[in-house]
Structure 1
Amino acid sequence: MNQETGRGAGALADGPERGGFRLAAYAVCVEDGRVLLVHHASGCWTLPGGRVEHAEDPFDAVVREVSEETGCDAVVERLLGVDSRVIPASEAHAGIAHQNVGVFYGVRITGGVLRPEPNGETVGSVWTPFPEVASLRRSSLVDVGLALARSLPVTGHVAPVPVAGLVEH
Protein backbone atom coordinates (compact mmCIF):
# COMPACT_ATOMS: atom_id res chain seq x y z
CA MET A 1 0.00 0.00 0.00
CA ASN A 2 1.30 3.47 -0.89
CA GLN A 3 1.41 5.51 2.32
CA GLU A 4 0.90 8.83 0.51
CA THR A 5 -2.19 7.84 -1.48
CA GLY A 6 -3.60 4.99 0.58
CA ARG A 7 -3.82 2.93 -2.63
CA GLY A 8 -2.07 -0.26 -3.65
CA ALA A 9 1.01 -0.12 -5.87
CA GLY A 10 -1.00 -1.35 -8.88
CA ALA A 11 -3.44 1.52 -8.52
CA LEU A 12 -0.61 4.05 -8.52
CA ALA A 13 0.85 2.54 -11.70
CA ASP A 14 -2.50 2.89 -13.46
CA GLY A 15 -3.36 6.30 -12.04
CA PRO A 16 -3.07 9.66 -13.76
CA GLU A 17 0.18 10.41 -11.91
CA ARG A 18 2.07 8.01 -14.16
CA GLY A 19 -0.30 7.06 -16.94
CA GLY A 20 -1.20 3.48 -17.75
CA PHE A 21 0.76 0.26 -17.83
CA ARG A 22 -0.02 -2.86 -19.84
CA LEU A 23 1.69 -6.25 -19.90
CA ALA A 24 0.80 -8.20 -23.03
CA ALA A 25 1.86 -11.37 -24.82
CA TYR A 26 1.98 -11.63 -28.62
CA ALA A 27 2.24 -14.57 -31.02
CA VAL A 28 4.49 -14.45 -34.06
CA CYS A 29 3.22 -17.33 -36.20
CA VAL A 30 5.35 -17.71 -39.33
CA GLU A 31 4.75 -20.47 -41.86
CA ASP A 32 5.73 -20.85 -45.53
CA GLY A 33 6.67 -17.18 -46.03
CA ARG A 34 3.48 -15.96 -44.33
CA VAL A 35 2.60 -14.49 -40.93
CA LEU A 36 -0.70 -14.91 -39.11
CA LEU A 37 -2.35 -11.52 -38.57
CA VAL A 38 -5.63 -10.57 -36.95
CA HIS A 39 -7.86 -7.74 -38.15
CA HIS A 40 -8.98 -5.50 -35.30
CA ALA A 41 -12.40 -3.80 -35.39
CA SER A 42 -10.54 -0.46 -35.65
CA GLY A 43 -9.39 -1.48 -39.14
CA CYS A 44 -5.80 -2.12 -38.08
CA TRP A 45 -3.98 -5.44 -38.60
CA THR A 46 -1.95 -6.79 -35.69
CA LEU A 47 -0.49 -9.94 -34.18
CA PRO A 48 -2.65 -12.33 -32.18
CA GLY A 49 -2.21 -11.51 -28.54
CA GLY A 50 -3.18 -9.19 -25.78
CA ARG A 51 -3.32 -8.39 -22.10
CA VAL A 52 -1.83 -10.79 -19.57
CA GLU A 53 -4.47 -11.23 -16.86
CA HIS A 54 -3.66 -10.88 -13.15
CA ALA A 55 -1.71 -13.94 -11.92
CA GLU A 56 -1.48 -15.34 -15.48
CA ASP A 57 1.84 -16.38 -16.99
CA PRO A 58 2.58 -14.62 -20.33
CA PHE A 59 3.40 -18.08 -21.77
CA ASP A 60 -0.17 -19.21 -21.03
CA ALA A 61 -1.67 -15.86 -22.04
CA VAL A 62 -0.33 -16.02 -25.59
CA VAL A 63 -1.83 -19.47 -26.18
CA ARG A 64 -5.17 -18.28 -24.75
CA GLU A 65 -5.15 -15.13 -26.88
CA VAL A 66 -4.41 -17.06 -30.10
CA SER A 67 -7.33 -19.37 -29.35
CA GLU A 68 -9.72 -16.53 -28.48
CA GLU A 69 -8.82 -14.31 -31.43
CA THR A 70 -8.31 -16.86 -34.21
CA GLY A 71 -10.03 -20.10 -33.20
CA CYS A 72 -6.74 -21.97 -33.56
CA ASP A 73 -4.75 -24.08 -31.14
CA ALA A 74 -1.13 -23.07 -30.68
CA VAL A 75 2.08 -24.14 -28.97
CA VAL A 76 4.89 -21.84 -27.98
CA GLU A 77 8.16 -22.79 -29.63
CA ARG A 78 10.42 -20.08 -28.23
CA LEU A 79 10.64 -16.73 -26.56
CA LEU A 80 11.57 -14.15 -29.20
CA GLY A 81 12.04 -11.13 -26.98
CA VAL A 82 10.51 -8.27 -25.04
CA ASP A 83 9.52 -4.83 -26.29
CA SER A 84 8.97 -2.02 -23.81
CA ARG A 85 7.70 1.28 -25.12
CA VAL A 86 6.24 4.43 -23.65
CA ILE A 87 3.54 6.05 -25.77
CA PRO A 88 3.42 9.80 -25.04
CA ALA A 89 0.02 11.32 -24.29
CA SER A 90 0.19 13.28 -27.55
CA GLU A 91 0.35 10.00 -29.55
CA ALA A 92 -1.83 7.76 -27.39
CA HIS A 93 -5.38 7.01 -28.53
CA ALA A 94 -6.81 7.87 -25.10
CA GLY A 95 -4.63 10.98 -24.72
CA ILE A 96 -2.91 9.55 -21.63
CA ALA A 97 0.73 8.45 -21.67
CA HIS A 98 1.18 4.75 -21.07
CA GLN A 99 3.81 2.03 -21.13
CA ASN A 100 3.28 -1.22 -23.01
CA VAL A 101 5.54 -4.17 -22.25
CA GLY A 102 5.07 -6.87 -24.86
CA VAL A 103 6.43 -10.40 -24.55
CA PHE A 104 6.80 -11.90 -28.04
CA TYR A 105 6.74 -15.65 -28.63
CA GLY A 106 7.41 -17.74 -31.71
CA VAL A 107 4.24 -19.84 -31.92
CA ARG A 108 3.18 -22.74 -34.13
CA ILE A 109 -0.46 -23.35 -35.01
CA THR A 110 -1.40 -26.99 -34.33
CA GLY A 111 -5.09 -27.08 -35.20
CA GLY A 112 -8.39 -25.28 -35.45
CA VAL A 113 -9.99 -23.16 -38.15
CA LEU A 114 -9.49 -19.42 -38.56
CA ARG A 115 -12.56 -17.44 -37.54
CA PRO A 116 -13.49 -14.05 -36.06
CA GLU A 117 -13.38 -13.62 -32.28
CA PRO A 118 -16.86 -14.27 -30.84
CA ASN A 119 -18.05 -11.12 -29.04
CA GLY A 120 -14.58 -9.61 -29.38
CA GLU A 121 -12.67 -6.93 -31.22
CA THR A 122 -10.97 -9.26 -33.71
CA VAL A 123 -13.13 -9.36 -36.83
CA GLY A 124 -10.96 -11.80 -38.77
CA SER A 125 -7.58 -13.45 -39.11
CA VAL A 126 -5.54 -14.42 -42.15
CA TRP A 127 -2.19 -15.86 -43.17
CA THR A 128 -0.49 -12.93 -44.91
CA PRO A 129 2.49 -13.28 -47.30
CA PHE A 130 5.46 -11.20 -46.10
CA PRO A 131 5.50 -8.89 -49.17
CA GLU A 132 1.86 -7.90 -48.49
CA VAL A 133 2.42 -6.92 -44.84
CA ALA A 134 4.05 -3.58 -45.76
CA SER A 135 0.93 -2.44 -47.63
CA LEU A 136 -1.43 -3.03 -44.68
CA ARG A 137 -2.58 -0.49 -42.11
CA ARG A 138 -0.94 -2.29 -39.22
CA SER A 139 0.10 -2.00 -35.61
CA SER A 140 3.77 -1.35 -34.93
CA LEU A 141 3.64 -4.64 -32.99
CA VAL A 142 3.68 -6.48 -36.33
CA ASP A 143 7.00 -4.91 -37.29
CA VAL A 144 8.47 -5.51 -33.82
CA GLY A 145 7.43 -9.17 -33.87
CA LEU A 146 8.81 -9.77 -37.35
CA ALA A 147 12.08 -7.98 -36.47
CA LEU A 148 12.49 -10.25 -33.43
CA ALA A 149 11.67 -13.37 -35.46
CA ARG A 150 14.24 -12.45 -38.13
CA SER A 151 17.10 -11.38 -35.88
CA LEU A 152 16.58 -13.47 -32.72
CA PRO A 153 18.64 -11.01 -30.64
CA VAL A 154 20.73 -12.69 -27.94
CA THR A 155 19.50 -10.21 -25.33
CA GLY A 156 15.87 -10.53 -26.46
CA HIS A 157 15.67 -6.73 -26.82
CA VAL A 158 14.58 -5.11 -30.05
CA ALA A 159 15.66 -1.60 -31.08
CA PRO A 160 12.81 0.93 -31.33
CA VAL A 161 10.76 0.52 -34.49
CA PRO A 162 10.08 3.82 -36.27
CA VAL A 163 6.43 4.63 -36.80
CA ALA A 164 5.87 5.83 -40.37
CA GLY A 165 3.59 5.21 -43.31
CA LEU A 166 0.85 2.72 -42.51
CA VAL A 167 2.27 1.71 -39.12
CA GLU A 168 0.35 2.76 -35.98
CA HIS A 169 0.85 2.45 -32.22
Structure 2
Amino acid sequence: MAIPKNTICLWYDKDAEEAARFYAEVFPDSAVTAVHRAPGDYPSGKAGDVLTVEFTAFGIPCLGLNGGPLFQHNEAFSFQVATDDQEETDRYWNAIVGNGGQESACGWCKDRWGVSWQFTPRVLTEALAAGGEEAKRVFEAMLEMGKIDVATIEAARRADATATRGGS
Protein backbone atom coordinates (compact mmCIF):
# COMPACT_ATOMS: atom_id res chain seq x y z
CA MET A 1 0.00 0.00 0.00
CA ALA A 2 1.34 3.42 -0.94
CA ILE A 3 1.66 6.01 1.79
CA PRO A 4 -0.53 9.02 0.95
CA LYS A 5 1.22 12.37 0.50
CA ASN A 6 -1.20 14.07 2.93
CA THR A 7 -2.96 12.35 5.82
CA ILE A 8 -5.20 13.78 8.52
CA CYS A 9 -3.86 12.82 11.95
CA LEU A 10 -6.50 12.59 14.68
CA TRP A 11 -5.31 12.39 18.29
CA TYR A 12 -7.17 10.01 20.59
CA ASP A 13 -6.60 9.14 24.22
CA LYS A 14 -6.59 5.37 23.69
CA ASP A 15 -9.53 4.63 21.38
CA ALA A 16 -8.12 5.24 17.88
CA GLU A 17 -8.83 1.69 16.72
CA GLU A 18 -12.38 1.70 18.10
CA ALA A 19 -13.09 5.05 16.43
CA ALA A 20 -11.62 3.96 13.09
CA ARG A 21 -13.63 0.72 13.10
CA PHE A 22 -16.80 2.68 13.91
CA TYR A 23 -16.20 5.08 10.99
CA ALA A 24 -15.48 2.14 8.67
CA GLU A 25 -18.76 0.51 9.68
CA VAL A 26 -20.90 3.65 9.34
CA PHE A 27 -19.53 5.54 6.35
CA PRO A 28 -19.11 4.46 2.71
CA ASP A 29 -15.63 4.40 1.20
CA SER A 30 -14.18 3.92 4.69
CA ALA A 31 -11.93 1.18 6.03
CA VAL A 32 -9.30 0.35 8.62
CA THR A 33 -6.17 -0.35 6.60
CA ALA A 34 -3.51 -0.96 9.28
CA VAL A 35 -3.03 -1.14 13.03
CA HIS A 36 0.46 -0.46 14.40
CA ARG A 37 1.58 -1.33 17.89
CA ALA A 38 4.14 0.59 19.93
CA PRO A 39 7.60 -0.99 19.69
CA GLY A 40 8.42 0.31 23.18
CA ASP A 41 6.99 2.12 26.16
CA TYR A 42 5.94 5.75 25.64
CA PRO A 43 4.52 8.51 27.90
CA SER A 44 0.87 7.36 27.73
CA GLY A 45 1.32 3.65 27.03
CA LYS A 46 3.52 0.62 26.87
CA ALA A 47 5.10 -1.66 24.30
CA GLY A 48 2.46 -3.61 22.39
CA ASP A 49 -0.35 -1.06 22.85
CA VAL A 50 -2.06 0.17 19.70
CA LEU A 51 -0.11 3.31 18.81
CA THR A 52 -1.55 4.28 15.42
CA VAL A 53 -4.38 3.17 13.17
CA GLU A 54 -4.43 3.91 9.45
CA PHE A 55 -7.94 4.32 8.08
CA THR A 56 -10.02 6.11 5.51
CA ALA A 57 -13.20 8.07 6.26
CA PHE A 58 -15.24 8.83 3.14
CA GLY A 59 -12.08 8.06 1.14
CA ILE A 60 -9.96 10.56 3.09
CA PRO A 61 -6.73 9.03 4.44
CA CYS A 62 -6.48 9.39 8.20
CA LEU A 63 -4.17 8.28 10.97
CA GLY A 64 -5.56 7.74 14.46
CA LEU A 65 -2.86 8.34 17.08
CA ASN A 66 -3.30 7.07 20.62
CA GLY A 67 -1.39 9.97 22.14
CA GLY A 68 -3.03 10.05 25.55
CA PRO A 69 -5.29 12.56 27.31
CA LEU A 70 -3.12 15.67 26.78
CA PHE A 71 -4.99 17.01 23.71
CA GLN A 72 -8.75 16.98 23.07
CA HIS A 73 -10.72 17.44 19.85
CA ASN A 74 -12.66 20.66 19.34
CA GLU A 75 -14.74 22.40 16.67
CA ALA A 76 -11.66 24.01 15.11
CA PHE A 77 -11.50 20.82 13.02
CA SER A 78 -14.45 18.97 11.55
CA PHE A 79 -15.29 16.60 8.75
CA GLN A 80 -17.82 18.23 6.44
CA VAL A 81 -19.89 15.66 4.56
CA ALA A 82 -22.08 16.71 1.62
CA THR A 83 -25.30 14.70 1.74
CA ASP A 84 -27.74 14.19 -1.10
CA ASP A 85 -31.03 14.12 0.81
CA GLN A 86 -32.72 13.94 4.20
CA GLU A 87 -32.37 10.16 4.39
CA GLU A 88 -28.58 10.31 4.03
CA THR A 89 -28.34 13.27 6.43
CA ASP A 90 -30.43 11.41 9.01
CA ARG A 91 -28.47 8.17 8.62
CA TYR A 92 -25.09 9.77 9.38
CA TRP A 93 -26.39 12.18 12.03
CA ASN A 94 -28.21 9.38 13.86
CA ALA A 95 -25.17 7.10 13.68
CA ILE A 96 -22.97 9.72 15.33
CA VAL A 97 -25.44 11.12 17.86
CA GLY A 98 -27.05 7.75 18.60
CA ASN A 99 -23.71 6.14 19.52
CA GLY A 100 -22.64 8.38 22.35
CA GLY A 101 -22.30 11.56 20.30
CA GLN A 102 -23.66 15.02 20.91
CA GLU A 103 -25.91 17.29 18.84
CA SER A 104 -24.85 20.83 18.09
CA ALA A 105 -26.18 23.59 15.82
CA CYS A 106 -26.39 24.22 12.07
CA GLY A 107 -25.72 20.64 11.02
CA TRP A 108 -22.82 20.01 13.42
CA CYS A 109 -22.48 17.15 15.88
CA LYS A 110 -19.66 15.41 17.73
CA ASP A 111 -18.96 11.72 17.93
CA ARG A 112 -18.26 10.03 21.25
CA TRP A 113 -14.53 10.73 20.84
CA GLY A 114 -15.14 14.45 20.41
CA VAL A 115 -14.49 14.63 16.65
CA SER A 116 -16.81 17.18 15.01
CA TRP A 117 -18.88 16.32 11.94
CA GLN A 118 -20.98 18.53 9.68
CA PHE A 119 -23.66 16.74 7.66
CA THR A 120 -24.56 19.34 5.07
CA PRO A 121 -27.23 18.63 2.47
CA ARG A 122 -26.18 19.82 -0.99
CA VAL A 123 -29.41 21.86 -1.22
CA LEU A 124 -28.17 24.00 1.69
CA THR A 125 -24.78 24.61 0.09
CA GLU A 126 -26.40 25.43 -3.26
CA ALA A 127 -28.87 27.85 -1.67
CA LEU A 128 -26.16 29.69 0.26
CA ALA A 129 -24.05 29.91 -2.90
CA ALA A 130 -27.01 31.45 -4.77
CA GLY A 131 -26.59 34.61 -2.71
CA GLY A 132 -29.09 37.40 -2.32
CA GLU A 133 -32.43 37.08 -0.57
CA GLU A 134 -32.59 33.32 -1.14
CA ALA A 135 -29.30 32.78 0.71
CA LYS A 136 -30.42 35.12 3.49
CA ARG A 137 -33.69 33.21 4.04
CA VAL A 138 -31.91 29.87 4.01
CA PHE A 139 -29.17 31.10 6.33
CA GLU A 140 -31.73 32.37 8.84
CA ALA A 141 -33.60 29.05 8.70
CA MET A 142 -30.35 27.10 9.17
CA LEU A 143 -29.43 29.11 12.27
CA GLU A 144 -32.51 27.67 14.02
CA MET A 145 -31.55 24.04 13.31
CA GLY A 146 -29.55 21.29 14.92
CA LYS A 147 -29.67 18.59 12.27
CA ILE A 148 -30.42 20.20 8.90
CA ASP A 149 -34.00 19.75 7.76
CA VAL A 150 -34.02 19.58 3.96
CA ALA A 151 -37.74 20.39 3.62
CA THR A 152 -37.31 23.57 5.67
CA ILE A 153 -34.30 24.60 3.58
CA GLU A 154 -36.26 23.98 0.37
CA ALA A 155 -39.20 25.99 1.75
CA ALA A 156 -36.86 28.86 2.62
CA ARG A 157 -35.50 28.79 -0.93
CA ARG A 158 -39.05 29.24 -2.18
CA ALA A 159 -39.74 31.95 0.43
CA ASP A 160 -42.41 29.76 2.02
CA ALA A 161 -43.65 31.20 5.34
CA THR A 162 -42.92 27.89 7.11
CA ALA A 163 -39.19 28.41 6.48
CA THR A 164 -38.76 30.35 9.71
CA ARG A 165 -39.48 27.24 11.75
CA GLY A 166 -36.27 25.27 12.27
CA GLY A 167 -35.74 21.56 11.89
CA SER A 168 -34.76 19.28 14.70
State the TM-score, normalized to the length of structure 2: 0.22
Which has the larger strand fraction?
1
Which structure has more RCO (C-alpha within 8 Å, separation ≥ 6)? 1
Q: Which has the larger radius of gyration?
A: 2
State the TM-score, normalized to the length of structure 1: 0.22
